[in-house]
Amino acid sequence: MKISIIHPTARIKPRAPFPLGWYGACLQWFDTCESPSDIEYLVVVHESRQFDFWWHNTGLMKERTQPWGNFRVVVNHGRDCIVDQCNTGTLAASGDILVHSMDDLIAPQGWDTAIQKAIPDSSQPVCLACKPREREDLISIPSIGTRALHMAVGPLYPGYEGMFSDNDWSEMARRVGTVKEVPLHFDHPHPLTNGKNQMDEIYEQQNRPESYAIGLKVFEERRAAGFPRVELPGWPKNEAKPGLISRGLDWIENKLAPLSAPPQPQPRYITFCLPGESFRFEWLHGLIDLCAAVGMAGWQIKLCLGYATSCYSTRINMAQEVLDAGAKIRPDYVFWLDDDNIVKPEQFMALVRFLDENPTADVVTGWCWIRQKERWGISVGTQFWTDGFHLCPIELDKLFANGASHKRIAHTGFPCVLMRYAVLEKLGANVFMPMLNPDQPGWFAGEDVAFSLRARDAGVEMWVDPACKVAHLKVCSQEPDIQLYRDSPKDLKDWRAQVNGPAIVAPEWFNQVNEVVK
C-alpha cells in the first residue's frame, strides 16, 4: 500500500462527544480521500477492549469498511496507553508512508493526493510539517512520515504514557530526517486546545495532571541524554544509511556551535518557583519553551512546583525550599510564575538582562491585566493607597510614559517576578506571611501585598518592564488591546491571539467589555 493510516482508539462505541465513536473519524477520512483503494486503514484496539469492539462493530465494519484498499483491526497487547497503541500500529503497518490519526482529527479534502505529492520518493526519511501548525514545537498533528523515517526514529519511548511523546518524536524526526513544510491543515477540535469538543472520560484520562508531569520529566531526561533511539523487541535494529549519519552529525555540530565558547568559571543557576494546583496545556507548553531557551543560554535550572493548603503557605514553603537548596548551590536569581500566566522566552531573557546590567535593581517584574472592582487594572503599581496597604495600580498611560522604559514600582501582584536570590536571603521565607494590624479592624494584607510592604521597608528596589506583558489565562477572552501589541511583529500578534483570543479595544468599564464580547 502507498499510505497506512494508524488509528489508535479507546472509543470503541458511540459516546458523547463522538456519536459514532472511532468510526466517525474513519468515515470522515474516507469521504475526503481521493484514492481509498491505495490506502491501508488500521484501527488499533487494546486487548482489554477487543471483545467489546467486535461486539459493537462487526456488522458495521462488514458494510462500510470494504472500500479501503486494506482494513485491519490491530490488537495492542502492551500497556493501555496511546504510546503502546501507536508503536503496535506502526509495526503492523505495511504502507510506504505512515500517518497517525486520532478520533478527533479531521482530514482536509484530498489529503492522500497532497501527501503523495509532497513525498514523491517514499524511500527517503522524510516527514511533513503541516501549515498552519497547531503547535510550533511539534512537527505536525498528525505525524506524517515515510516508513524509512519511522524505522530510523524507532519506537516511541515507553517511559511516556502519552503526553510529550509527540514532542520526543518531533525532536527525533528532525535529527534523522528531512522536514518538509506543506500547506495541509488537519483540524484538531481538542477541548484543551480550542474548546471545540467537550471532555469525556478518555480525554480526562489522557490529560491528567500527573500524565503531563510524568511526560515533562521523561522529556527533559531524554533531552539531556540527546534523545537516544529506543530498541524494543519486534523492532528492526537501527541500520542508518551513511546519509542519515552525516545529516545527524551536521545537526549535532550546528546545535553545539552556540555552546562551543569556553565554559564560564562559575556556572549560573536559576530557580523557577511555579505555584499552582493544576497546569493548563497552554501554560505547560509555554514552560517547555521557556526552559529550553534558558537552558540553551547556558543556565542550569531548578524547578519548584506544587501547592499547599493556601497560596500563602505555598509561597512560604517554596521560598524555604529555595533557601534550603541555596545552602548547597546558591542560585543567581529566583523566578516566580503563576499557573495562569505565560511568559515568552524573549521576555524572560530581557528581565535577566535588566538585572545583569543594573546592579542596584533587586527585582524586575512583568505585568498582566487584572480586574480592579469594575475597571481593568494592571498587576503593578508605583504607590499604595492612602490607607497604607491597598495596592494602587499604575495607569496604562503612565506605564508606557517615555516609551517602554523600565519604571520603579512599589508593589506587584506576582504574576511574573524575577528577583535576586539575595533578596530572598535578606527577607526570609516568611516575607509572604499575611499581615494584620490590631489597631485597624479589617486591615489585611495578602501574600503579594505583604511581600511588597516588607520589601519596601527593607529598601528593596523593584522595577517593571512594560514590554513584559504576560498572558493572564483567567481574563484572556476579554483582555484589552494596547498600542504596544498593535505595533508588534506579526508572530508576536499571532501568539497573543492564540493564547489570549482576539484583542479588543480597551474600554474603561467591565460592562462595556462584556458588550464588546457579545
- Which pLDDT belongs to residue 232? 83
Helices (H), 13-131: 22-31, 50-64, 82-92, 111-118
278 and 192 Cβ atoms separated by less than 8 Å: no
pTM of the model: 0.47
344 and 468 Cβ atoms separated by less than 8 Å: no
Q: Give kind and range of the element (H or E) at residue 337.
A: strand 333-337
144 and 127 Cβ atoms separated by less than 8 Å: yes
Grid cell in block for residue 33: 480521500
Q: Give kind and range of the element (H or E) at residue 362.
A: none
- Which pLDDT belongs to residue 244? 44
Which domains are present in the chain? 3-224 (3.90.550.10), 271-517 (3.90.550.40)
C-alpha 143/C-alpha 166 separation (Å) is: 8
Question: Does 104 have pLDDT greater than 90?
Answer: no
* pLDDT one-digit tens code per residue, 129-158: 887 655 666 787 789 999 999 998 999 999
- Which pLDDT belongs to residue 289? 85
**3-state helix vs strand vs coil in the chain, percent to 5:** 40, 20, 40
* pLDDT one-digit tens code per residue, 305-323: 887 777 878 888 899 999 9
Question: Does 207 have pLDDT greater than 90?
Answer: no
Question: Does 463 have pLDDT greater than 90?
Answer: yes
Q: Of 187-191, 259-263, 287-291, which one has max mean pLDDT?
A: 287-291
Predicted confidence band of residue 518 (pLDDT cuts 50, 70, 90) = very low
C-alpha 63/C-alpha 499 separation (Å) is: 44
Reported as half-sphere exposure (CB side, CA atoms, 13 A), residue 96 has a value of 12
The CA–CA distances, whole Å, from 319 to 273, 299, 314, 322, 451 equal 8, 20, 9, 5, 12
Q: Of 97-106, 126-135, 136-145, 290-299, which one has max mean pLDDT?
A: 97-106
**98-112, 409-423, 442-456, 492-506: lowest mean pLDDT where?**
492-506
- Which pLDDT belongs to residue 61? 60
* pLDDT one-digit tens code per residue, 388-437: 555 666 776 677 776 668 889 988 888 999 999 999 999 999 898 877 66
Strand partners, 337: 416
**35-39, 114-118, 397-401: lowest mean pLDDT where?**
397-401
C-alpha 266/C-alpha 261 separation (Å) is: 14
- Which pLDDT belongs to residue 492? 58
Predicted confidence band of residue 449 (pLDDT cuts 50, 70, 90) = confident
C-alpha 436/C-alpha 385 separation (Å) is: 17
The CA–CA distances, whole Å, from 153 to 80, 110, 125, 175, 423 equal 22, 27, 9, 9, 47
* pLDDT one-digit tens code per residue, 41-80: 999 998 888 878 877 776 666 555 567 888 888 888 888 8
429 and 397 Cβ atoms separated by less than 8 Å: no
Respond yes or no on whether the N-terminal peptide bond of residue 67 is cis (omega within 30° of 0).
Answer: no
Grid cell in block for residue 356: 545583569
Strand partners, 4: 40, 98
Mean pLDDT of all residues belonging to the chain: 80
Query: Which one, of 135, 144, 189, 184, lies nearest residue 164 by Cα?
Result: 135
C-alpha 189/C-alpha 207 separation (Å) is: 15
C-alpha 323/C-alpha 301 separation (Å) is: 15
Cell 545537526 sits on residue: 251
Grid cell in block for residue 484: 504596544
Predicted confidence band of residue 297 (pLDDT cuts 50, 70, 90) = confident
- Which pLDDT belongs to residue 4? 95
- Which pLDDT belongs to residue 128? 92
164 and 132 Cβ atoms separated by less than 8 Å: no
